[in-house]
Structure 1
């Protein structure tokens, strides 16, 4: 919103006789005190004790209004720049302190009436013509209207700047949360306030991936509470309520994939984003679909979280396979995993694998020769099962990466 203040009151005051201003000047302190007393009585927002910054601001604002009014009388050459800048700043401060303009406007109107009443004995004692008194009164109320309009300019400018800064602040906030929230708690709290965003205790991080030629991400479908960065080399977003806030994306993510981390405390956001990005790099039967919910695949994601550790576990738990050919390793690994997962006999394992029961019996005897008593130890069996599942997941992942277009 843009408007121009005409400042008619300055011209009206300049047309008054300078003698009137000279006679009123010694009484400006009395007028200012009367204004403050009436403002504090009638305007609740300014009713607190005049101490500290608040007290200084109120007193200076009132005194400057009275002083400038008197200085303008009979003086067409006076500069108004400092006065205009001061009341624009007052308007900005009203916005920054979370108030609307009503208290300031009420105080200006109420204060003007109080000042006019306080000055009446002086004006009457000067024996000035009635038309001068009328013009002085008209100038007072025009002056008040223009003071309020000047403050409104500052208020609206501050409001517009804050609105324009919100997207930038929200992006900075998201970046800070995604990197190191535990070391930036105060900065996050401050940015959240400046971005008009309620800081949640928990949230989910969502990694995004765009296929070549895909349309723009349908960000307009998301609630304004969702923080989003589509310009990052690996775009992502934050949502405090993924089930509800991501629901509008169902069926609307043409050419996009998303991986949603579990809902975690905000301090764990970096790890959650790492997990979501890891999930995006997986595919196949274990992690299907355009929207991957990590909570449904925690075991797989945990097994694939550290390639190095997975390889070390396989080396330690499956070392008897080292002397076998690749074909032998694959057959026996498949049989061993099926047995570990079911702990059933040859017929059940054979049915699961789709082979003859005698084939399974032969393989199980081979496994007993290779692993011996380790097959009876619970810790060893757990290590074997984890290593085999990790290997299977990694093979599926590598196959997907090797497919054309990946």
Structure 2
């Protein structure tokens, strides 16, 4: 690639070009406006005058660079132009214009500028060799500016992308912490995130988060903690969400208004902590485990309730107490239908009759008391431990 810093043009070549600089700049701007649609609005608005000055400055820098005196220089005259081009690239990224539009503008500007500058040089009587050499310098200069703008555009996108990711993580944390509404709304504004109607919390292993996120709404919020990824999915239909996640290891909380998603997250966490589900390798819908969640909300209270309602079995041997508790649980589940109890326990109906006779001896009228039956049903709703009776 040609190094424009190594070339000089005599003052006689540059003088007529400098005199016509405003005209060249105007022609370049007109061509860019006509041929690059993304810039038509920018030139028509308040930015038009600023951009025109920038184009004139770039051309002036070029002419100053190629006409400077020969000799060693501690600082390149090209530096200000490169810095301005880098800043332009960053500004274009902030404005939302693509790199394609920026490079197209450079190409159009280079073509028109060269056409105008060449015409001026021919009119001034410059020889063909000098004009050809001048063309090389023009396009080498534009290449330098283009590269600087590309770097600025890329750096701005990377910087703003990292900043937005941080803002989105801060928003997610604010939602999961249940912070005040004004704080959460401010966090959403900083993250440039438009609130949906609802959010649904989904827990997935951290290593699978990227794959799962690709299946979901692009507005999905994400946060990683302790090997788990928390995903907050906007406006999700429960059935559709479960379908999308089929084949994944995930826990799906209930749909909640977006400001109340902490409740969805808390339920998903509690469901994941249920012993039967802690190692589940499929999609878990928390709605399928409401009974277990209710019953385990206060584990010590459940343990105390079990101990109280099973106290009549305390005099039995450990094996006998376990069989009687298992039979009582099935009897409550099947509303006393002996054949169904026998089928569930894989025993003979006569065995069920024998055990229920023993339970009636131990409990007496309490097996006809609605309050006691309710307590027994709750206490035995979940699988009981192998030793359900604490020995005294």
> What TM-score results when the alignment is normalised by the length of structure 1?
0.65
Count of aligned pairs:
359
Structure 1 residues 246 and 133: alpha-carbon distance in aligned structure 2, compared to 1, 3 A threshold: same
Question: SS at the partner of 1:282?
Answer: coil
Map 1:252-401 → 2, pairs under 5 A: 260-262=251-253, 264-265=255-256, 267=259, 269-284=261-276, 289-291=280-282, 293=284, 294-307=286-299, 310=302, 314=305, 321=309, 324=312, 326-327=314-315, 337-344=329-336, 354=347, 355-361=351-357, 363-364=359-360, 367=363, 369-370=365-366, 374-375=369-370, 380=371, 383-384=374-375, 387-389=378-380, 392-393=382-383, 395-396=384-385
Aligned equivalent of 1:253:
none
Question: SS at the partner of 1:236?
Answer: strand
Question: SS at the partner of 1:145?
Answer: helix
Deviation at 1:103, TM superposition (A): 2.1
Aligned equivalent of 1:69:
62
Which region of structure 1 is more displaced relative to structure 2, 78-87 or 35-44? 78-87
Question: SS at the partner of 2:203?
Answer: strand
Deviations 1:357-392 (A, max 9, x none): 2542453476563476x52xxxx47852663245x4
Within 1, Cα distance between the matches of 2:144 and 2:184? 44
Which region of structure 1 is more displaced relative to structure 2, 356-365 or 106-115? 356-365
Deviation at 1:68, TM superposition (A): 1.0
Aligned equivalent of 1:11:
6
Structure 1 residues 200 and 169: alpha-carbon distance in aligned structure 2, compared to 1, 3 A threshold: farther
Within 2, Cα distance between the matches of 1:28 and 1:287? 74
Which region of structure 1 is more displaced relative to structure 2, 321-330 or 135-144? 321-330
Structure 1 residues 137 and 322: alpha-carbon distance in aligned structure 2, compared to 1, 3 A threshold: closer
Within 2, Cα distance between the matches of 1:397 and 1:47? 78
CA contact (8 A) 1:279 1:292 kept: no
Within 2, Cα distance between the matches of 1:397 and 1:34? 90
Deviations 1:174-210 (A, max 9, x none): 65665459753564576587xxxx99965452265xx
Structure 1 residues 299 and 382: alpha-carbon distance in aligned structure 2, compared to 1, 3 A threshold: farther
Within 2, Cα distance between the matches of 1:37 and 1:87? 20
CA contact (8 A) 1:9 1:142 kept: yes
Within 2, Cα distance between the matches of 1:186 and 1:7? 51
Structure 1 residues 363 and 51: alpha-carbon distance in aligned structure 2, compared to 1, 3 A threshold: same
Question: SS at the partner of 2:152?
Answer: helix
Question: SS at the partner of 1:48?
Answer: helix
Which region of structure 1 is more displaced relative to structure 2, 274-283 or 343-352? 343-352
Aligned equivalent of 2:143:
145
Listed as ranges, the gaps of 5+ residues in structure 1 are: 1-5, 209-215, 250-257, 400-406
Answering whether residue 134 of structure 2 is matched by residue 136 of structure 1, we say yes
Question: SS at the partner of 1:62?
Answer: helix
Which region of structure 1 is more displaced relative to structure 2, 322-331 or 84-93? 322-331
Answering whether residue 27 of structure 2 is matched by residue 31 of structure 1, we say no
CA contact (8 A) 2:86 2:148 kept: yes
Listed as ranges, the gaps of 5+ residues in structure 2 are: 234-240
Structure 1 residues 36 and 383: alpha-carbon distance in aligned structure 2, compared to 1, 3 A threshold: farther
Within 1, Cα distance between the matches of 2:301 and 2:48? 65
Structure 1 residues 309 and 44: alpha-carbon distance in aligned structure 2, compared to 1, 3 A threshold: farther
CA contact (8 A) 2:31 2:108 kept: yes
Deviation at 1:229, TM superposition (A): 6.6
Deviation at 1:340, TM superposition (A): 3.8
